[in-house]
Amino acid sequence: MRSRVKAETSAPSSGPKPPRRKRAAIVAGGAGFLGSHLCDRLIADGYRVYCIDNLYTGRLENLDGLAAEPRFTFIEQDVRAPLETLPEAQEVYNLACPASPPHYQRDPLDTVTTNVIGTLALLKLSGARQARLLQASTSEVYGDPAEHPQRGSYNGNVNPIGPRACYDEGKRVAETLCYDFRRQLQADVRVARIFNTYGPRMRTDDGRIISTFINQALCGEAMTIHGTGCQSRSFCYVSDLIEGLIRLMRLEDAPATPVNLGNPEEFTVLELTEEIQRQIGGCAGVRHLPPVEDDPQRRCPNIELAFDLLGWRPGIALRSGLRQTIDWFASPPGAVADAPSIAATAVGPA
Ligand code: NAD
């Protein structure tokens, strides 16, 4: 078994203490990038964890570090299939959905039905079990935003029939379902609107700019920028994000609105390429390609609500998060060398 996966588990932070009583959690989409880090964290916090995933974009090697863990069970299952046989759990995290544009656009019908039918199924399951559900939503619900930075109250600017709609609108309907379950059936739901997150275990083929740029730079190729490179993005390191999800799930009273989780520090795409080039060395430079349809020009979260409610804000600077991510991507497959881990450093009271 590769020990690398276990080594870069997000360490529990000084955030909220895990509940004393034995708890169980279902993590749908737990074999993916974020889901596998979440499984690691929940196991470290003493939970019994049931990871369900159809391996559409997830990978079993993301879970290698948990293979010998008796409190961890992987169940290969689609969230749209009947879920009644799943074990009891007090907490349900729904992360099941391909998250990167090439993956979610590969089969748009799969993406939209996973979001709508899958979320509905998990809401029904959570309701029947009186479990708490946390829905992983996305900053993409804001579309190409006319408001900047985006507050949770901004209703977005989404093209409902464009190539990204299967994801953006799918996630919007999933949010609608969550709040209708809350209003109509008093369900205990929480919605995190996640902004760009990066770190070890991103897929090299996911088409997201950090993984794409790092791979290109490591191969000595020019980094390909769609458009001018002046469009902005904000990047949250994975352990910070997981800390935010955990705090949102453990909040006693569910917030009345979705909560933005992301890093408000804003960089242009060109600035990102410069930092990656500085860390990797070599000078293949950048190559400009035509802009992508419906690509948002600015993306930056307003995280005041997360700070007020959860005492959360990200603590890991892009430079150090990139260093960890580059080290992970640079490790040869199957390497046993430990990738250094970064403990979540979210600050403030739990
Ligand atoms: P990912 O693609 O690595 O993980 C998604 C997981 O869901 C995969 O393991 C995949 O196999 C699984 N899955 C997909 N369809 C499924 C289905 N029908 N049934 C069961 N499992 C299914 O993506 P990620 O980056 O880990 O994102 C996780 C969640 O967070 C997604 O819901 C995504 O929309 C959300 N999110 C992520 C980011 C980010 O920057 N990573 C940003 C915003 C929102």
**In testing the pocket of ligand 1, which one of 26, 27, 34, 51 has its CB within 8 Å of the most ligand atoms?**
34
pLDDT band at 131 (very low <50, low <70, confident <90, very high): very high
SS3 308: helix
d(C-alpha 83, C-alpha 31), whole Å: 17
Q: What is the DSSP string of 141-159?
A: GGBS-SSSSBPTT---B--
Ligand 1 neighbour 15 (Cβ under 6 A)? no
18, 46 contact by CB (below 8 A): yes
Find all residues with CB under 8 Å of 236, minimum gap 6, and list them.
194, 195, 196, 197, 198, 261, 262, 263, 314
Q: Does 262 contact ligand 1 (Cβ within 6 A)?
A: no
Dihedral angle of Cα 56, 126, 241, 68, to the nearest 10 degrees: -60
Which residue do the tokens 């391996």 mark? 55
242 lines ligand 1 (CB under 6 A): no
Which residue CA neighbors atom 41 of ligand 1 most closely? 197
Site to probe by mutation for ligand 1, drawn from 37, 38, 53, 109 as the one with most ligand atoms within 8 Å of Cβ, is: 53
Q: How big is the chain by its Cα radius of gyration, in Å?
A: 19
CB within 8 A of 306, min separation 6: which ones?
Answer: 244, 248, 259, 260, 261, 312, 313
Q: Which of 129, 117, 99, 175 is nearest to 25 (CA)?
A: 129
Nearest to 348 by CA among 307, 316, 294: 307
CA angle 79, 119, 65 (to 5 degrees): 50
Give helix 33-44 / helix 238-250 axis angle, nearest 10°: 60
Residue with tokens 């309701």: 127
pLDDT tens digits for range 234-279:
999 999 999 999 999 999 999 999 999 999 999 999 999 999 999 9
| Residue 84 DSSP SS3 | coil
The Å distance, Cα 282 to ligand 1 centre, comes to 33
Identity of the amino acid at 52? I
Q: Which residue has the tokens 């993306």?
A: 299
252: Cβ contacts below 8 Å, ≥ 6 apart? none
97 close to ligand 1 (CB < 6 Angstrom) = yes
CA dist list (Å): 97 to 17, 25, 134, 239, 241: 29, 18, 14, 20, 17
Q: How many C-beta atoms surround the C-beta of residue 282 within 10 A?
A: 11
pLDDT the model gives residue 282 = 77
Counting every residue, how long is the chain?
350
Look at residue 194 in the predicted model and tell me its pLDDT.
Answer: 97
pLDDT at 16: 65
Kind and range of the H or E element at 236?
Answer: strand 236-237
Alpha-carbon distance of 51 to 77, in angstroms, equals 9
Angle between helical axes of 269-280 and 209-218 (0-180°, round to 10): 30
Provide the percentage of residues in the chain whose pLDDT is more than 70: 88
**Segment 135-191, tens digit of pLDDT:** 999 999 998 888 888 888 899 989 999 999 999 999 999 999 999 999 999 999 999
3-state SS class at 76: strand
**pLDDT (tens digit, 9 = 90+) per residue, 40-88?**
999 999 999 999 999 999 999 999 999 999 999 999 999 999 999 999 9
pLDDT tens track for 88-126: 999 999 999 999 999 999 999 999 999 999 999 999 999
User: Which residues, 6+ apart, have CB-to-CB distance to 254 below 8 Å?
Assistant: 132, 182, 188, 189, 190
Of all helices (H) and strands (E), which one includes residue 165? helix 165-185
Q: Return the half-sphere exposure (C-beta side, CA atoms, 13 A cut-off) of residue 110.
A: 13
Q: Which two tokens stand for residue 45?
A: 């916090």
The helix or strand, by DSSP H or E, that contains position 194, with its residue range, turns out to be: strand 189-194
Residue with tokens 């960890």: 324
